[in-house]
Structure 1
Amino acid sequence: MHEWDAVVIGGGPAGLMAAGEIARQGHRVALVEAKPSPARKFLMAGKSGLNLTKDEPIGALLAHYGDAEDWLAPMIRAFDAQAVQDWAQGLGQALFTGSTGRVFPTAMKGSPLLRAWLAELDQLGVTRHVGWRWTGWQDGQLSFNTPDGPQWISPRATVLALGGASWARLGSDGAWAAMLASQGVALAPFQPSNAALSVAWSDHMVPHFGAAIKAVGWQAGHLTGRGEATLSARGLEGGGLYALTPALRDGHALYLDLAPDVAAAELTARLAKPRGKASWANHMRRGLKLGPVKTALLQEFGRPLPQDPAALSLIIKHLPVSHAGLRPLDEAISTAGGVRRDALDDGLMLKALPGTFCAGEMLDWDAPTGGYLLTACFATGRWAGQAAARYLASVTTR
Structure 2
Amino acid sequence: MDHNPFIVIGAGPAGLMAAQYLAIRGHKVHVYEQNKAAARKFLVAGDGGFNLTHSEPIDHFVEKYDAQQIKEIVRSFDNQSTRDWLSTIGIPTYIGSSGKVFPERQVKPIHVLQAWLQYLQKLGVIFFYQHQFVDFDKDYVYLNHKDEQLRRPYQKLILGLGGGSWAKTGSDASWVGILEDRGIQIRPLQSANSGYNTLDDWSALEGQVLKNIAVRYGEEVRLGEIVFTQYGIEGSPLYYMNRFTRKDVFPIDLYLDLKPNLTENTISDKLRVGGSVTHLLKEKLNLSKTAIYLLKSAEKTIFMNPVALARLIKCFPIRVVGLRPMDEVISTAGGVSFDELGENLALHKYPNVHCVGEMLDWEAPTGGYLLQACFSTGAWVGRA
Pair in the same fold by TM > 0.5: yes
Alignment partner, residue 352 of structure 2: 355
Larger strand proportion, structure 1 or 2? 2
Q: Which residue of 2 aligns with 1:177?
A: 176
Q: Compared with structure 1, are the counterparts of its residues 282 and 100 closer, same or farther at alpha carbon in structure 2 (3 Å cutoff)? A: closer
The answer to whether residue 58 in structure 2 is matched with residue 61 in structure 1 is no
Which is worse superposed, 133-142 or 83-92?
133-142
Q: Distance between the aligned counterparts of 1:88 and 1:242, measured in 2?
A: 28
Contact kept, 8 Å, 1:221 with 1:253, in 2: the verdict is: no
Q: Give structure 1 stretches of 5+ with no counterpart.
A: 388-398
Paired with 1:304 and 1:319, the residues of 2 have a C-alpha distance of 15
Q: Distance in 2 between matches of 1:299 and 1:385?
A: 57
Amino acid at match of 1:82: Q
* Aligned-residue CA RMSD (Å): 1.8
Once the two structures are superposed, residues 49-75 of structure 1 have per-residue CA deviations (whole angstroms, 9 ceiling, x without a partner) of 111111111110111112x0x212331
Deviation by residue 1:115-166 (Cα, 9 ceiling, x = unmatched): 1100011011111111111011379521111125111101111000001111
- Give the stretch that moved more between structures: 10-19 or 243-252: 243-252
Tell me the TM-score normalized by structure 2: 0.93
Letter in 1 for 2:213: V
CA distance in structure 2 between the aligned counterparts of 1:41 and 1:297, rounded to whole angstroms: 36
In structure 2, C-alpha distance between the alignment counterparts of 1:285 and 1:101, rounded to whole Å = 31
Residue 318 (structure 1) aligned with residue 315 (structure 2): yes
**CA deviation string 1:222-275 (max 9, x = no partner):** 322122222111211122321111112123631111112222222111111122
Structure 2 counterpart of 1:374? 371
- The residue aligned with 1:76 is 74
- Cα separation, 2, equivalents of 1:369 and 1:31: 27
CA–CA distance in structure 1, aligned partners of residues 349 and 301 of structure 2: 59
* Paired amino acid for 1:336: A
Q: Is the 8 A contact 1:17 1:385 kept in 2?
A: yes
Percent of residue pairs identical: 37
Per the alignment, do residues 17 and 292 of structure 1 end up closer, same or farther by CA in structure 2, a change over 3 Å counting?
same
Equivalents in 2 of 1:87, 1:227: separation in Å? 31
- Residues 1:87 and 1:273: Cα distance change in structure 2 (over 3 Å): same
Looking at structure 1, the residues matched to 144 and 290 of structure 2 have their Cα atoms a distance apart, in angstroms, of 51
> Which amino acid in structure 2 is aligned with residue 106 of structure 1?
E
Contact 1:305–1:312 (CA under 8 A) maintained in structure 2: no
Instruction: Determine the structure 2 residue equivalent to 1:330.
Output: 327
1:109 to partner: Cα distance = 3.5
Distance in 1 of aligned mates of 2:352 and 2:138: 16
Instruction: For residue 312 of structure 1, give the secondary structure of its aligned residue in structure 2.
Output: helix
Q: Deviations over 1:23-74 (max 9, x none)?
A: 11221111111111111111111111111111111110111112x0x21233
TM-score (norm 1): 0.90
Counterpart CA distance in 1 for 2:149 and 2:359 is: 25
* 8 Å contact from structure 1 (residues 200, 234) kept in 2: no
Structure 2 counterpart of 1:28: 28
Counterpart in the other structure of 1:256: 256
Structure 2: how far apart are the matches of 1:383 and 1:162? 16
Task: Give the counterpart letter for 2:18 in structure 1.
Answer: A
**1:5-20 equivalent positions in 2, closer than 5 A:** 5-20=5-20
- CA apart distance, 1:193: 0.8
Structure 2: give runs of 5+ residues left out of the alignment.
none
Distance 2:367 2:186 in 1: 26
Paired position in structure 1 for 2:236: 239
Out of 99, 102, 106, the residue aligned to residue 101 of structure 1 is 99
